[in-house]
Chains A and B, each alone.
Chain A
């Protein structure tokens, strides 16, 4: 009888699982909470606590069962809910202050349920303002610092730009001021790690802090985020230095296929256990602060001294393109961001590259052309003015709408810190040096306010 699998095939999979940190970064349950919309505080809170509590308990049980059955590590369990701006909309009839207080209570309530049920993050403290504000949006943006300071697990996102509508500069200014407020409301500014500013935020994103339950989604759905940069790095290292670019691309593609297949298997099984639909696999390889779990190290394995060195955009292009092509073959349920992540503090190699000066804001802005990270988990000095933060966000948003893609900005102005200081955020958030920010003035430009119109790409859609 022929072997079911050759020992080499089995060893390869085991090596990936046991030694190359191939795991499932997150199973994210995306949950509709539009039925919790109300003008009465207690109605909202009891609806949320009942529904999110019920699904949380089921999610934990299902994830634990599947991890146990397959012997695959599932690192985090997360929930994404309907944007809170929609849930609080009826509260706008009350005074703004009262509505804001209730919004913070909703954040506390979500946090309580998550903590009680061992859910790692709960996303959806979100607002969509790429063309303008509703009262609900204003409530969410106003309360970002309080909601993040009062919670440990709540993740927040504001979508300020879209290919179809352009960039809402007023919103960019508002969130930039809020970023500074969040930084001053939480130790080391760490609350900013749970807040991202986005363009074209996808409805089925399993990654935090950008995850929310989109309006086109079903009642409840399971989305999966894979990890496994270590497996790609190992595959490239096995190739050695003599192989050409096409072979390199091919090996990344084949390895990405395997990584994505694991995500698809686990996602479908968790969804089956929960008796809800399976949504998507996000092909992006989530890195972590562990040395063998780094996207930057993939670029370095390709032959660069550090991520950020000349050649990094081409190397990152090879990675992103090969991951997409391998992933496409592995699953027909692609969604989320599905590119490559290079968050600075969360990726061991990115953090080291920032330390030696190979990675700076300029390099990140260049690299985002070929991935979908934008400027992520970058610590900056605490005294950077709001208009400079706004201008950095505007640059990323402009790239996103011109390239018709998703990009985000997650900046952490660390109070009291100067460029070159080291800051440790702990756990998956990692540690990094505080990055210098250009000090040239952009104040007059930012203060023009208003909307930047969409690009001609908008006309392609007509």
Chain B
């Protein structure tokens, strides 16, 4: 739960109707900006695709708001909903 010094962790969630190319489409944006994936979980339940990633922005060359913007555009192209939140929100709500 504790993060390493210099890490800037962000949670990306992707949800929508399953089809080929969603993981590739989203991760291509991350790779382009050298953003490292720290953790990834992905499921498909009754045709609904769901993916949660924890990524580290400190290795990359993009700000959180710019990444949100790019991923939202890519999400629209893929027909999925993408949300991007700083990990501190999850720390605040889920840890005492």
Contacts and interface: CB of A to CB of B under 8 A. Distances in A.
Do A and B share a complex? yes
B93 A13 contact: yes
B92 A262 contact: yes
A291 interface: no
A13 B90 contact: yes
A72 B89 contact: yes
Given A4-B38, A4-B39, A70-B86, A10 B52 contact: yes
Nearest to B54: A4
B94 A71 contact: no
Interface residues of A, number: 24
Given A3-B39, A4-B1, A71-B83, A262 B13 contact: no
B75 to A, nearest CB: 13
B9 A13 contact: no
Interface string A2-20: 0111010111111011100
A70 B88 contact: yes
B84 interface: yes
Contact of A71 (B3, B9, B68, B96): B68
Contacts of B89: 13, 17, 70-72, 262, 265
Contacts of B84: 71
A146 interface: no
Interface in B12-53: 13, 38-39, 41, 43, 52
Contacts of A68: 64-65
A16 B41 CA distance: 20
Contacts of A261: 92-93
A69 B64 contact: yes
B80 interface: no
Contacts of B9: 4
A11 B96 CA distance: 18
Contacts of B1: 4-5
Interface in A263-284: 264-265
A258 interface: yes
A262 B94 CA distance: 10
Contact of A10 (B11, B65, B92): B11
Contacts of A70: 85-86, 88-89
A264 to B, nearest CB: 7
Q: Could you tell me the dominant secondary structure of chain A's interface residues?
A: helix
A69 B11 CA distance: 12
B41 A7 contact: yes
A10 B54 CA distance: 10
Interface residues of B, number: 26
A17 B92 contact: no
A274 to B, nearest CB: 18
A14 B38 contact: no
A7 B92 contact: no
Nearest to B65: A68
Q: Which of B68, B84, B87, B90 is most buried by chain A, counting CB atoms within 10 A of its CB? A: B90
Contact of B92 (A12, A71, A265): A265
Nearest to B93: A258
A69 B86 contact: yes
A261 B87 CA distance: 13
Contacts of B39: 3-4
A35 B64 CA distance: 40
Contacts of A258: 93-94
Interface in A16-68: 16-18, 68
A9 B41 CA distance: 12
Interface string A307-334: 0000000000000000000000100000
B52 A17 contact: no
A18 B83 contact: yes
Contacts of A71: 68, 83-86, 89
Contacts of A12: 93-94
A180 B94 CA distance: 48
A3 B96 CA distance: 17
A71 B85 CA distance: 5
A65 to B, nearest CB: 9
B94 A9 contact: yes
B54 A264 contact: no
Contacts of A264: 92
A83 to B, nearest CB: 34
A262 B93 contact: yes
A68 B41 CA distance: 25
B87 A4 contact: yes
Nearest to B86: A70
Contacts of B64: 68-69
B58 to A, nearest CB: 15
A264 B91 CA distance: 12
A171 B43 CA distance: 64
Nearest to B10: A71
A68 B67 CA distance: 11
Nearest to B85: A71
Given A4-B1, A16-B93, A258-B94, 9 more contacts: A7-B43, A9-B90, A10-B90, A17-B89, A68-B64, A70-B86, A70-B89, A262-B92, A329-B96
7 contacts: A4-B87, A5-B11, A70-B88, A71-B85, A262-B93, A264-B92, A265-B89
